[in-house]
Amino acid sequence: MKNLITLLTLIAFLPSCDKKTTISNKIDNQTQKIDNQAIIVNQNNKPKSINTQYGPDYYFVVAFYKSVFYGNSLENLSEINIESAQLDLSPDGKKIAYSTYQNGRQNIKLIEIDTKKEDLLSLPEFGTIMGAWNRDGKHIVISCTNQETNFYSQPVIYDLDNNKMIYVSWLKSNTDYYNPTFSPNGKKLVFHDIERIYICDFNDGKVDLDKTISCEELCKFDNLGFSDLCKFQLTSDSKYLVFSAEIDVTLDNMCPNLMLFSLNLNNGNIKQLTQSNITIADFVVAAGNEIYFCTCDKINNIYGGYFSRLDNSNPICVTTFSEQPFAISIAE
């Protein structure tokens, strides 16, 4: 899904959030009352809090510097014995695909959450970074750098059933492409090269270009800027493109202040979804147009897990973490 994000932006304030998820082997035993609904965080590391007010029932994975936590609500997460900031949940929520570094290069492993059984994918000699798992459960997209891609980073489809890689033949051979994502329904694939956003049709492993969007056009909105840290994801109805971007980019602001936006693909309107004092570490769009994202504030040591909708410009702080999050993933 992503490069390891190091965000050093100075932030004055974050919206208050009374609940805190402690990143340790035990989650604090506490109860929080939210709009007349009690959510209990259990001490025995077994997620039981499911049907919260923050959208349908999803499984969540949140990655931190040297730990990964899993659960069926952002408020109730248990640690899994893996280390990766580049990962994604399988559509059924039973497996995690994650980047790992061994034998001098990056590779990708699959782990079954219940049994802890791990499989190493058969990948080329050079580096690969985990991107996203498709809704069909049979394909994942990875960022791959090898001889086939002319040693540039390119999105490659991995067929899990047949253990083979499917290269996108129409990509430029001398260009790096970043942060490939699938739409929640799995029918669209999106990635970018900092200058353009590529929206593609995806069907059983085949990638066909649908349209491109110029990042320069998006930059006209409030002086936005883009880098390899930025991410784009389509909604299931393909009406909106949700993305992270830097705002007020200047030569004096070398540390990115990533904020969350949506682009209406029908009329071209751009909407700012997060406040300027919130720095986005990662986000994910769910099937019902819910958006979950994690934030970081290194100065005040405030790290949050948030919930929002496309039609709501006021994100809800669902929980705070005791460490900086780097990645978030969900599964229905």
| Residue from 152, 223, 248 nearest 193 by CA | 152
CA distance 115 to 51: 25
Average pLDDT over the chain reads: 79
**What pLDDT, on the 0 to 100 scale, is given for residue 136?**
96
Under a CB-based contact definition with an 8 Å cutoff, are residues 62 and 68 in contact?
yes
pLDDT computed for residue 50 by the predictor: 33
Q: Which of 152, 131, 128, 150 is nearest to 140 (CA)?
A: 131
CA distance 51 to 40: 11
> For residues 215, 220, 222 and 224, what is the CA-based torsion angle, rounded to 10 degrees?
20
pLDDT digits (tens, 9 = 90+) for 221-276: 777 889 898 999 999 999 999 999 987 655 444 446 789 999 999 999 999 998 87
Is the confidence at residue 46, as pLDDT, over 60? no
Burial class (CB in 10 A: 0-12, 13-18, 19+), 196: middle
Which two structure tokens, joined as six digits, stand for 210?
Answer: 């649908």
> Sorting pLDDT into bands at 50, 70 and 90, what band is 39?
very low
Residue range 20-331 forms a domain whose CATH class is mainly beta
Q: To the nearest 10°, the Cα dihedral for 127, 130, 133, 137?
A: 50
Share of the chain above pLDDT 90, in %: 45
pLDDT of amino acid 249:
55
State the pLDDT confidence band at 4, using cuts at 50, 70 and 90: very low
pTM of the predicted model as reported, rounded to 2 decimal places: 0.82
What is the per-residue pLDDT across 277-332, written as a single tens digit (0 to 9) for each?
A: 778 999 999 998 899 999 987 566 788 999 998 876 688 888 888 888 999 999 97
Lowest pLDDT segment from 96-100, 144-148, 166-170 = 144-148
pLDDT at position 310 is 86
In sequence order, the 6+-apart residues with CB closer than 8 A to the CB of 171 are: 154, 155, 177
Question: In this predicted structure, what is the pLDDT of residue 265?
Answer: 95
Q: Which residues pair with 311 in a beta bridge?
A: none
pLDDT of residue 155: 94
Dump the DSSP string for 44-83: TS-------SSSS--EEEEEESS-EEEEEETTEEEEES--
What is residue 56's predicted lDDT score, i.e. its pLDDT? 56
Q: Closest Cα to residue 182, out of 242, 94, 246?
A: 242
**CB crowding 257-271: b at 16 or more within 10 Å, else e:** bbbbbbbebeeeebe
pLDDT bin (cut points 50, 70, 90) of residue 152 is: confident
